[in-house]
């Protein structure tokens, strides 16, 4: 059944209640790449700091068109992401979290806290990274320099990397995220994984742990107005938006 335009607006304005069934484990992905590293536990030192408050969106709501429409961006940022930030601060205050410290500090022991803190801390962190990881569309959008070299060495080609990352997003059952992460302290390596709901690879409950370098939101509220149930189309078009300059900087900083 096709929703009317107004019904779609109401759908996202009230918040998408996506299925919470996630299957067994927190990193089940269709990509064969994960079969050999789904139990990876090594992590890298985290040089990044995320605050507890929502930062301004780094571009206009319409900046990502035609691939992500302005209405989706506005609802996603002002409703969904804003709610994560508010609920995170409420939970942090109730549970005695020091909000002057980086949000990343709590992920290593997130299992000790409430579901409210876990869900909203993950939701806020994931979205703060997601906004910065995109920019206005570019033709033949791809990384350069040492990041491209590393990706090609690890995955065989940039095209193979895109395909496997896309599969991680397409095959995530229900709502969640696809990730390119860096793990290992001495022998740092790029791997792909996915997490359910608003979990991320920094959390102690993640099956595959590591430092997020690039993340893709595959919750329905990220694409439903334009793509409806066509997640694969959303993912394919999202590649036009990846801010590879930012991802390169993030990778270089983590590799130091």
Give the containing element (helix H, strand E) for 212.
strand 211-217
Q: Which pLDDT belongs to residue 30?
A: 37
* pTM assigned to the model: 0.84
Q: Which pLDDT belongs to residue 256?
A: 86
**24 is written with which tokens?**
């067994």
Which segments in the chain show pLDDT lower than 50? 1-9, 11-42
Q: Which pLDDT belongs to residue 248?
A: 96
> What b/e sequence results for 38-76 when a residue is b if at least 16 CB atoms lie within 10 Å of its CB, and e otherwise?
bebeebbebeeebebebeebeeebebbeebbbebbbbbb
Q: Which pLDDT belongs to residue 187?
A: 77
> What b/e sequence results for 160-176 when a residue is b if at least 16 CB atoms lie within 10 Å of its CB, and e otherwise?
ebbebbbbbbbbbeebb
Residue ranges of domains in the chain, CATH in brackets: 5-12+19-45+58-255 (3.55.40.20)
Q: Which pLDDT belongs to residue 85?
A: 98
**154 is written with which tokens?**
């690890």
Q: Which pLDDT belongs to residue 43?
A: 56
Q: Which pLDDT belongs to residue 139?
A: 87
């Amino acid at each position: 059944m096709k929703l009317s335009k107004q019904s779609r607006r109401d759908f996202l304005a009230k918040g998408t209640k996506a299925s919470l069934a996630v299957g067994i484990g927190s990193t089940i992905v269709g990509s064969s790449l994960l079969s050999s590293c789904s139990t990876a536990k090594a992590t890298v030192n985290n040089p990044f700091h995320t605050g507890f408050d929502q930062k301004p969106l780094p571009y206009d709501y319409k900046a990502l068109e035609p691939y992500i429409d302005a209405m989706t961006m506005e609802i996603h940022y002002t409703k969904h992401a804003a709610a994560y930030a508010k609920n995170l601060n409420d939970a942090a205050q109730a549970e005695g979290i020091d909000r002057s410290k980086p949000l990343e500090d709590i992920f290593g022991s997130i299992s000790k806290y409430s579901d409210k803190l876990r869900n909203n801390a993950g939701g806020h962190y994931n979205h703060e990274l997601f906004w910065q990881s995109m920019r206005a569309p570019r033709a033949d959008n791809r990384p350069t320099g040492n990041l491209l070299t590393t990706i090609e060495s690890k995955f065989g080609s940039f095209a193979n990397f895109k395909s496997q990352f896309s599969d991680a997003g397409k095959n995530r059952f229900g709502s969640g995220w696809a990730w390119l992460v860096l793990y290992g302290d001495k022998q740092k390596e790029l791997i792909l994984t996915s997490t359910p709901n608003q979990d991320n690879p920094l959390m102690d409950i993640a099956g595959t742990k590591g430092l997020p370098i690039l993340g893709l939101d595959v919750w329905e509220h990220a694409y439903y107005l334009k793509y409806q149930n066509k997640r694969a189309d959303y993912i394919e078009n999202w590649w036009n938006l990846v801010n590879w300059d930012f991802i390169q900087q993030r990778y270089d900083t983590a590799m130091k």
